[in-house]
Structure 1
């Protein structure tokens, strides 16, 4: 008699028995589920797994398609594997670096010893389609770490060798696709034939890997020009290259050799230099007739905007200017006037939750040299109050406004462009795990937010993770469409920060119960941060952006 395992399927809330050792794909077919899009992966006891995963015990399973971020990651990861194999097949002496997300796709640096041509890209794309048509299996092999290190050393993939050698693991795994091997830190699809839609195009001096839209996986994401963001990434990648620290393996080796303090000092100095340059630019525009009176600062959650504002204010003062911060929070409309979201709840992130008419009237009056009384919003009562907070600005005063809508043209339509200087702040992580595994900038920000919420807001990691999708949706709607409006972009990510944050976030993440949906994301983040050698935070200066999340800042918040 065949032994069986009992599977509970969360998609239809039913139990069913399957032969022991059945794959997730076999189980999916056995439940006869109806999905609008292809199923890409599954959560097994709230851990993400590929459909080749085999089950030997009773499990709870939830199948995922493009609409789930975990499913989308599986698709993109598999597509990247196909791209890397295609490059190896077409250009055996070439090398491809999968560097960072940009323009609704992924920028890839193709190293051929010469400029990349459109014909090169077309050859790669053709080979990718051939690999997909061959319907090859993505095979996962678990082995002792010394075996994996030997395999990658023989293929001169030293980025992976350093990562694995410094990971502290005894066993690891690698993937094969035909005769090509690679390493990915998450699940893959079952076969290359499961990839139905992609594109790869020449993009500036590299390639752009295009992926399906999560909202409508039958079409590709529309390419959005993000030249300024691409320039910021390139600037920081150049510095990483100068420091000989292009990936986590390089970073770990340097830390193990006693260079952590040097890394912290250089990274902090680079940020301070950049902030000083921004302040100098603002001052020079004023001196050259630009008449900048208002600095507008925007960026997504946990990008360090508040500390950036304080450090920029210090640098502006060294130029003889008097910065004065205005809080958009004080210009909320009275609560009953707040617009509603699609669920009928107050939408406090909407631009129209602000009293735009009053806000612009006050700005215009201030710029004319008049005195205005700034309101204070009483959040308990849900209305503006006036407490005699009067303001008149002098000739050397510069107003600083920080908020999610700061770069939206509708916020300050009555203020002439010559009076405004716009800054976009975000944690644009530039260090990669290895040449083929980038670190999502959203992961960097989520880790920061989990620590801050735990330290200062009394939220558990589970609560923060639960709220994160709605935070991201608000950013997609109100922040990201306007980021290229900025006069300058500031990267708040620090080369060393995840190694420091590891010690703070691990105990918070381990508190997420295994029986809740948020455990999958907590487990993924725990697995990811363990690639970093942990370092102490004691040498991080009190003015560091990280202090906004860790505590110990010399600034008051």
Structure 2
């Protein structure tokens, strides 16, 4: 058997062709703190069961990294489902749905004549542990789409049946543990022995499959459910059920039969009703003069602020938008991050003292000149925008630190009304494959930044890790402090964004670092049947990203 050179980092070795990346990974595992889950071979992500066929460069992906962490969670989900089918009476089971990401776990709900209780979870956990101890291979095989449709129809997994109906690719990859087969969007670890760290806990009407903390370690923190966030997700799921769309296959059915236009109008009406409800709450508290809006990148904060302002005006109030960005320090005063770059996302990048002074003066009825930050010059400028609050005036303050009381430390608590907004997608690929909310926001940002800033998809992808770190530090810890949470995700939007995102992602070359992420997103968007933008109302949040909005966004 021919031997070929393999370069792992700076080290050169020789292996016979046909050697698995798993075998090579085991030889190098002691050099890594976290377990190796995947391999990057000549800049292409590979599962460890794949084999060496020619000279190549390998770097290993551990569970600490995003791709490895996702592979672990995906594989643990397959393990949980296999075990669930092992310990229950399948004749009484209708469906197990993997719904939301909650506190580093997946919230799952079961339909059928099955009672979820501590006794069942104990049986399920023990069965999962047993399969882990046996270190059973996770097999992968390829079927053509028609075979897959027939197979999952027989299994009663009709969401997958509908999904594959609209796929242009002719083959489908199926994963299995023993005889239990399922379809997953993304790569897996090689065997159940990798999945030692998990837990299960009852929550609400279902249970949560918990994973180790995001750093890829082995520790699992006690479950701390974000209750407000969970209620928003439940409400959004009900909206989806009301429209008749809970999976991508169901969405595609609506596009194909021509009924999607009504679904778009219903979704937009539900969103407008939600905004009107927020305004009713504000009116009930006339002392609330500062509407503080915060949310992660590409949540649609700007369009939401405009639509909220219109509803406020419809009730006789006079809203005045103030972006927190206007209180940035001059660029040369903004602190540096750990990489030596200006950290625009930290609280210290803002002139907090000036912000509090101005807001207090406005609350006292004084006339205040509001600064404006110029991203071109990197300086705050005074352009003569003076403001004085009357009886019906109200401030709409938008920025990533809006929920953090350290920003508005001098302002009276009773004057603030806090709103958290995020794109929390209620749509799943199928009953077992979630759509991460971060993917929706990332695709939104790719499309918007290309349109408004001339930023390539490659540049947006390269910045995304830094953006996500900023959100983890400065936004998510404060989300449960909001008076109101609102979900800006629209059930149809990915089918619209696809038309804009695809050509941008195809522009990333195979030798570029962002290529694997671009391919992952392209494969994901391939599930959707496109919706033309002509169907989208001018005030929709989607317009903030694709253009054509009636607002200045």
Residues 46 and 266 of structure 1: CA distance in aligned 2, closer, same or farther (over 3 Å): farther
Deviations 1:264-296 (A, max 9, x none): 12221211111121122212222xxxx110100
Residue 136 of structure 2 contacts residue 193 of structure 2 at CA under 8 Å; is this kept in 1? yes
Match of 1:25 among 22, 28, 49: 22
- Please give the alpha-carbon distance, in whole angstroms, between the structure 2 residues aligned to 1:14 and 1:126: 42
Residue 294 of structure 2 contacts residue 403 of structure 2 at CA under 8 Å; is this kept in 1? yes
Deviations 1:124-180 (A, max 9, x none): 111111111121110001122222222211111111111112212211121111121
Deviations 1:10-47 (A, max 9, x none): xx134444333332112334667611111011223433
- Please give the alpha-carbon distance, in whole angstroms, between the structure 1 residues aligned to 2:347 and 2:441: 23
Is 2:398 the partner of 1:402?
yes
- Please give the alpha-carbon distance, in whole angstroms, between the structure 2 residues aligned to 1:536 and 1:310: 24
Bigger Cα displacement from structure 2, 422-431 vs 130-139: 130-139
2:345 aligns with: 349
Match of 1:453 among 449, 461, 468: 449
What secondary structure, in the 3-state scheme, does the structure 2 residue paired with 1:22 have? coil
What secondary structure, in the 3-state scheme, does the structure 2 residue paired with 1:526 have? helix
Give aligned pairs, total: 550
2:38 aligns with: 41
- Please give the alpha-carbon distance, in whole angstroms, between the structure 2 residues aligned to 1:57 and 1:266: 55
List runs of 5+ in structure 1 lacking aligned partners: none
TM-score, length-scaled by structure 2: 0.96
Residue 290 of structure 2 contacts residue 396 of structure 2 at CA under 8 Å; is this kept in 1? yes
Cα deviation for residue 254 of structure 1 reads 2.2
Bigger Cα displacement from structure 2, 88-97 vs 453-462: 88-97
List runs of 5+ in structure 2 lacking aligned partners: none
- Please give the alpha-carbon distance, in whole angstroms, between the structure 1 residues aligned to 2:75 and 2:164: 20
Bigger Cα displacement from structure 2, 100-109 vs 303-312: 100-109
1:248 aligns with: 248
What secondary structure, in the 3-state scheme, does the structure 2 residue paired with 1:425 have? strand
- Please give the alpha-carbon distance, in whole angstroms, between the structure 2 residues aligned to 1:387 and 1:146: 64
1:62 aligns with: 59
Is 2:463 the partner of 1:464?
no
2:515 aligns with: 519
- Please give the alpha-carbon distance, in whole angstroms, between the structure 2 residues aligned to 1:529 and 1:379: 33
- Please give the alpha-carbon distance, in whole angstroms, between the structure 1 residues aligned to 2:100 and 2:154: 27
Match of 1:75 among 72, 77, 88: 72
Match of 1:544 among 534, 540, 545: 540
1:261 aligns with: 261
Bigger Cα displacement from structure 2, 217-226 vs 94-103: 217-226
What secondary structure, in the 3-state scheme, does the structure 2 residue paired with 1:270 have? helix
Residues 102 and 254 of structure 1: CA distance in aligned 2, closer, same or farther (over 3 Å): same
**Over aligned residues, Cα RMSD in angstroms?**
1.8
Cα deviation for residue 225 of structure 1 reads 3.1
Cα deviation for residue 251 of structure 1 reads 1.4
What secondary structure, in the 3-state scheme, does the structure 2 residue paired with 1:164 have? helix
Cα deviation for residue 382 of structure 1 reads 4.2
Residues 114 and 78 of structure 1: CA distance in aligned 2, closer, same or farther (over 3 Å): closer
Bigger Cα displacement from structure 2, 201-210 vs 304-313: 201-210
1:120 aligns with: 120
What secondary structure, in the 3-state scheme, does the structure 1 residue paired with 2:433 have? coil
1:475 aligns with: 471
2:129 aligns with: 129
What secondary structure, in the 3-state scheme, does the structure 2 residue paired with 1:324 have? strand
1:419 aligns with: 415
Residue 43 of structure 1 contacts residue 520 of structure 1 at CA under 8 Å; is this kept in 2? no
- Please give the alpha-carbon distance, in whole angstroms, between the structure 2 residues aligned to 1:427 and 1:104: 18
1:269-308 equivalences under 5 Å are 269-286=269-286, 291-308=287-304
Cα deviation for residue 443 of structure 1 reads 0.3
- Please give the alpha-carbon distance, in whole angstroms, between the structure 2 residues aligned to 1:476 and 1:314: 31
- Please give the alpha-carbon distance, in whole angstroms, between the structure 1 residues aligned to 2:35 and 2:114: 39
Residue 69 of structure 2 contacts residue 216 of structure 2 at CA under 8 Å; is this kept in 1? no
TM-score, length-scaled by structure 1: 0.95
Deviations 1:529-555 (A, max 9, x none): 101111211110111101111011111
- Please give the alpha-carbon distance, in whole angstroms, between the structure 1 residues aligned to 2:32 and 2:439: 28
- Please give the alpha-carbon distance, in whole angstroms, between the structure 1 residues aligned to 2:186 and 2:159: 17
Match of 1:484 among 462, 480, 484: 480
Residues 382 and 517 of structure 1: CA distance in aligned 2, closer, same or farther (over 3 Å): closer
Bigger Cα displacement from structure 2, 63-72 vs 261-270: 261-270
- Please give the alpha-carbon distance, in whole angstroms, between the structure 2 residues aligned to 1:243 and 1:403: 32
Deviations 1:355-391 (A, max 9, x none): 1111111111111111112223344554433333221
Cα deviation for residue 112 of structure 1 reads 4.4
2:436 aligns with: 440
Bigger Cα displacement from structure 2, 161-170 vs 13-22: 13-22
What secondary structure, in the 3-state scheme, does the structure 2 residue paired with 1:174 have? strand
Residue 174 of structure 2 contacts residue 182 of structure 2 at CA under 8 Å; is this kept in 1? yes
Bigger Cα displacement from structure 2, 40-49 vs 223-232: 40-49
Match of 1:510 among 506, 523, 536: 506
What secondary structure, in the 3-state scheme, does the structure 2 residue paired with 1:162 have? helix
What secondary structure, in the 3-state scheme, does the structure 1 residue paired with 2:428 have? coil
1:7 aligns with: 6
- Please give the alpha-carbon distance, in whole angstroms, between the structure 2 residues aligned to 1:179 and 1:23: 23
Match of 1:53 among 50, 53, 57: 50
- Please give the alpha-carbon distance, in whole angstroms, between the structure 2 residues aligned to 1:32 and 1:308: 48
Bigger Cα displacement from structure 2, 401-410 vs 328-337: 328-337
2:188 aligns with: 188
Bigger Cα displacement from structure 2, 297-306 vs 454-463: 454-463
Residue 29 of structure 2 contacts residue 35 of structure 2 at CA under 8 Å; is this kept in 1? no
Residues 383 and 454 of structure 1: CA distance in aligned 2, closer, same or farther (over 3 Å): closer
1:329 aligns with: 325
